[in-house]
Amino acid sequence: MTNEKFSLRARANSFGYAFKGIRNLLRYEHNAIIHLVATVMIIIAGLWLQLERWEWTAIVIAIGFVWVTEILNTCVERTMDFISTEKDPKIGAIKDLAAGAVLIAALTAVTAGAFIFIPKIIALL
């Protein structure tokens, strides 16, 4: 715990740093662009299919889950690259685990999306 006084300016700056991090993620991480395109497509499909409130809730949680794991994966990868630029099987295993977390999040999101979208698409046919 710090003894710093509360400052609105410091809080505002922290939002600026967060947005800078997201901007850098989108600029330098190719997978983040894939997630962004998927996010936009899902939102458009949800609007078109007029999802119910509970369905939007599930979709938003799934999208957030993927984005959070992608950001944490990027943090792990960059930290490991900072620690050592040489090939190290232990660092490789750590990076693989972080990438696996993104894969699990993405598969979970796809599954949730399938439960919501497939019946609605079938109903349209």
The predicted-structure confidence for 24-37, as pLDDT tens digits, reads as follows 999 999 999 999 99
Q: What pLDDT is recorded for position 4?
A: 78
Stretches in the chain below the pLDDT threshold 70: 1-2
CA distance 61 to 68: 10
Query: CA 82: distance to chain centroid?
Result: 22
**Is 4 strand, coil or helix?**
coil
How long a stretch of residues is the chain?
125
What pLDDT score does 53 carry?
A: 97
Sign of the Cα torsion 11, 13, 16, 18 reads negative
